[in-house]
Amino acid sequence: MTRVDHRHRHLDRIAEVRAGRHAEKVGYPIGIREAEIVRTVKVGEGLLRLTLGGPGTEGFEAHAPDEHVKLIFPEPDGELRLPERNGAMLRWPRPAPTSREYTVRRYDPVTGELDIDIVPHEGGLASDWAHTVEPGAVVHVAGPPGGLIVPHAYDRYLLAGDITALPAIARRLEELPRTAKGWAFVEVADADEEIELSAPEGFEVHWLHRGGLPAGTGGALERAVTAVTVPAGERVYVWVAGEAGQIKPLRRWVRDELGLGKADHDITGYWKRGVADFDEDDH
C-alpha cells in the first residue's frame, strides 16, 4: 500500500487561502527547538530584540505576521520541563511548564536567524531574563502552532494595537504588496518608542502617544480607529491586538459599524492589566 505524505499539506492550504478572498487561520506542524542567543539589541526605547540561531532554528516554519512561539523557562527549582513531539502536535507536561508567548518578528531561512521583540517591563520573567542573557545561551522554543493568512484581495487594511502588537504590525506592513492601502495605528508612550516602519506608500501610519497614562489605559486607540471611514464599496480587513479591555470596544465597532464577518477581521487580547501570562483562549 502506498503511504501518503501529509507533512506539507499545510503549505497547500496556505497557498489556497492566499489566493482566496477571505482570511483564515492555518495550523502548522508544531515543533520544539533548542536555539542559541545570537545577540540582543534595543529597537527604539520600547522593544528589546532577541535574535536566536544555531542548528535548532533550521527549517523553522514562518508564514504569517501574527504567528507566535512560546519561550520555555526553567521552573523556580531549576527543573526544565519540555513538551514532546507527538506527530504534528506537542504533548505538554502537566502542570504546564513556565513559558511566555511572543510574536515571530522575522525569520531568515538563509542565516537561520529568528527575531523576537520583547516589551521590557520591570519584574517580568522574560523581560528580566532578556536583559541579562548572553550570546551562546540556550533557549527552548515551541511553535508556532499556525498563523493568520490574509489574502492580498482586500481593498484596504486597518492595523491597530499598542506596543505589544507593534512587531506583528511592522512585519505585516513589510509583507503586504507595495500597492496595498490602509491605516496603521500604534499606541506608544512617546516619540522615543516609535520605530521606522516599511509601510506601503498607500498606508497612513499614525503614532498615538499615551503620555503619562499607564499602559493599557485611555481611549486614544479607540478614538483614532473608530474615526476611520472606509470608502463605499471597498472591502477592508481589520487586525487589532493589545490590552484585552482597551480593545474590547473595537470588537463592537467592527461588528456593528463596519459590519464585518468573522473571516474579515481578527481582534486579539495580547495581555490584560494585572494578569501575568494572560492567554485570551483561557478566558
Tell me: pLDDT of 72 over 60.
yes
pLDDT tens digits, residue range 74-86?
Answer: 999 999 999 999 9
Interval 87-94 mean pLDDT: 94
* Average pLDDT of the chain, as a whole number: 93
Tell me: pLDDT of 281 over 70.
no
Query: pLDDT category, 1, cuts 50, 70, 90?
Result: very low
Query: pLDDT category, 186, cuts 50, 70, 90?
Result: very high
Interval 81-109 mean pLDDT: 95
Q: Give the pLDDT score at 236.
A: 98
* Strand 32-43 versus strand 24-27 pairing type: unpaired
Q: Is 106 within 8 Å of 171 (Cβ atoms)?
A: yes
Q: What percent of the chain has pLDDT over 70?
A: 95
Query: pLDDT category, 99, cuts 50, 70, 90?
Result: very high
pLDDT tens digits, residue range 11-46?
Answer: 999 999 999 999 999 999 999 999 999 999 999 999
Interval 169-193 mean pLDDT: 98
pLDDT tens digits, residue range 128-173?
Answer: 999 999 999 999 999 999 999 999 999 999 999 999 999 999 999 9
Distance of CA 127 to the CA centre of its chain: 17
Tell me: pLDDT of 68 over 80.
yes
Tell me: pLDDT of 279 over 70.
no
For the chain, which domains are there? 28-147 (2.40.30.10), 152-282 (3.40.50.80)
Distance of CA 231 to the CA centre of its chain: 28
Question: What is the identity of the amino acid at 244?
Answer: A
Distances from the Cα of 220 to the Cα of 38, 118, 184, 250, angstroms:
37, 23, 14, 12
Q: In whole angstroms, give the CA distance from residue 182 to residue 236.
A: 8
Q: Give the pLDDT score at 267.
A: 97
Q: In whole angstroms, give the CA distance from residue 112 to residue 126.
A: 22
Q: Is 62 within 8 Å of 70 (Cβ atoms)?
A: no
List phi, psi (to 5°) of 96. Answer: -60, 145
- For 218, the grid coordinates are 485611555
Q: Give the pLDDT score at 4.
A: 41
Query: pLDDT category, 5, cuts 50, 70, 90?
Result: very low
Q: Which residue has the higher pLDDT, 152 or 127?
A: 152
Q: Give the pLDDT score at 274.
A: 74
Q: Collapsing DSSP states into helix, strand and coil, what is residue 269?
A: strand
